[in-house]
């Protein structure tokens, strides 16, 4: 894939760059993590075991980081910023728990998923309890805007997941459908995080909308890259079960590009592979087609365009360490391999 920043070509460089991007908000991230741990605590040992296990899915905390960096870009005077950042992450963890059930995933972050270790029923309820706790906390905040924005966001995430379920093995869907789907299931939470950070720090509604647009596009790119990793990544590097999109008949951007650009004979071969129960739809089987038609590169180029357009939304911000970090953070999204 081209357009990946040259200085982010190995894991050590990527981790170092991410640490640099997050340096301006490191104390806030620590405080946000403390809020999250507090909110995950349960008096019941089994529930505590489950929610502590979910905490092991800890990723790079990109969504809280977007909220906190956005708040700092507007001066940082936002007393609720760490609390709301933790609740954004709690909603994300809840959605991951449900995602793993839908994908029948066995691992995430190189540890067993809740459904793999305790079964589907426990995983459903673990996701549900995280959602309900998050909204219970949101309802008690003095500022009603986080509750309003994140309740709408949670609904859109659920709509996105249902759209994905309803379109499995449907070779008639197009790229517009795919973009709508990933906007709902992934990008809206990125957008809401940045929007809330701006609003909590005193931005205008118009300024907050620009931050939302920037982060939404970053989230679109994140999901596109994630879908490419599901097709080409290695489980030991990515740290989660791969190939679930194909197994479940979920047609991501590279596959849609293939169907639109393959020769007539190759398209017929692909359509046979894409029939439910064919047993032929594998990452290895599709690799030659991806190489021939440049479908992975096409998807990556779309992700790169989204990143560039997102950065354009930040042109109004005054120069600051936080603004620079917001502009550079998407480089990590493009270069990620986990």
Q: What is the pLDDT of residue 4?
A: 47
Q: Is 168 left (phi over 0), alpha (psi -120 to 50) or beta?
A: beta
Name the range with the highest mean pLDDT among 6-20, 104-118, 159-173. Answer: 159-173
**How far apart, in whole angstroms, are the C-alpha atoms of residue 82 and residue 79?**
8
Kindly tell me if the per-residue pLDDT of 3 is higher than 80.
no
Ordered domains of the chain (ranges, CATH): 18-313 (1.10.600.10)
Q: In the predicted model, what is the mean pLDDT of residues 58-62? A: 83
**Predicted TM-score (pTM) above 0.85:** yes
Confidence band of 31 (pLDDT split at 50, 70, 90): very high
Q: What is the pLDDT of residue 9?
A: 59
Kindly tell me if the per-residue pLDDT of 25 is higher than 90.
yes
Q: What is the pLDDT of residue 200?
A: 98
Structure token pair of residue 155: 């609904």
Kindly tell me if the per-residue pLDDT of 7 is higher than 70.
no
Structure token pair of residue 323: 């603004």
Q: What is the pLDDT of residue 13?
A: 82
- 216, 224 contact by CB (below 8 A): no
* CA 193 to chain CA centroid, nearest Å: 12
Angle at 220 between CA 70 and CA 288, to 5 degrees: 145
Structure token pair of residue 5: 């920043």
Length of the chain: 338
Longest CA pairwise span in the chain (Å): 62
Q: What is the pLDDT of residue 241?
A: 57
Q: What is the pLDDT of residue 234?
A: 65
Q: What is the pLDDT of residue 6?
A: 45
Percent pLDDT > 70 in the chain is: 94
Pick from 290, 289, 273, 270: which is nearest to 281 by CA? 273
**How far apart, in whole angstroms, are the C-alpha atoms of residue 169 and residue 254?**
15
Tell me the per-residue pLDDT of 121-180, one tens digit each, with 9 for 90 and over.
999 999 999 999 999 999 999 999 999 999 999 999 999 999 999 999 999 999 999 999
Q: What is the pLDDT of residue 319?
A: 96
**How far apart, in whole angstroms, are the C-alpha atoms of residue 46 and residue 53?**
11
Kindly tell me if the per-residue pLDDT of 8 is higher than 70.
no
Kindly tell me if the per-residue pLDDT of 298 is higher than 90.
yes
CB atoms inside a 10 Å sphere around CB 2:
7
Range with the poorest average pLDDT among 94-103, 147-156, 215-224: 94-103
Tell me the per-residue pLDDT of 237-276, one tens digit each, with 9 for 90 and over.
554 556 778 888 899 999 999 999 999 999 999 999 888 8
Break the chain down into helix, strand, coil percent, rounded to 5: 75, 0, 25
């Amino acid at each position: 894939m081209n357009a990946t920043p040259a200085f982010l070509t190995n894991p050590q460089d990527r981790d170092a760059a991410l640490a640099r991007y997050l340096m301006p908000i490191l104390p806030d991230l620590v405080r946000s993590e403390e809020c999250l741990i507090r909110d995950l605590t349960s008096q019941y040992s089994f529930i505590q075991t489950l929610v502590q296990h979910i905490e092991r899915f800890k990723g790079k905390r990109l969504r809280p980081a977007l909220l906190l960096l956005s708040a700092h870009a507007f001066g940082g005077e936002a007393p609720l910023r760490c609390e709301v950042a933790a609740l954004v992450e709690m909603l994300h963890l809840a959605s991951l728990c449900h995602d793993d059930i839908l994908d029948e995933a066995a691992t995430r972050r190189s540890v067993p998923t809740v459904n793999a270790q305790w079964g589907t029923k426990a995983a459903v309820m673990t996701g549900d309890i995280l959602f309900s706790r998050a909204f219970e906390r949101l309802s008690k905040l003095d500022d009603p805007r986080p509750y309003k924005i994140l309740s709408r966001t949670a609904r859109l995430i659920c709509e996105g997941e249902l759209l994905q379920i309803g379109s499995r093995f449907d070779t008639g869907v197009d790229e517009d459908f795919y973009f709508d789907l990933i906007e709902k299931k992934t990008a809206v939470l990125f957008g809401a995080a940045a929007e809330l950070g701006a609003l909590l720090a005193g931005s205008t509604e118009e300024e907050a909308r620009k931050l939302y647009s920037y982060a939404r596009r970053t989230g679109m790119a994140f999901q596109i890259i994630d879908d490419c990793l599901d097709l080409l990544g290695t489980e030991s590097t990515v740290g989660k079960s791969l190939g679930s999109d194909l197994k479940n008949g979920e047609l991501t951007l590279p596959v849609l590009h293939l169907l639109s650009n393959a020769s007539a004979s190759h398209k017929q071969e692909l359509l046979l592979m894409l029939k439910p129960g064919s047993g032929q739809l594998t990452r290895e089987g599709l690799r030659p087609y991806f190489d021939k038609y440049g479908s992975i590169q096409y998807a990556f180029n779309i992700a790169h365009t989204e990143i560039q357009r997102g950065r354009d939304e930040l042109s109004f911000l005054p120069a600051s360490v936080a603004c620079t970090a917001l502009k550079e953070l998407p480089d990590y999204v493009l270069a990620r391999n986990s």
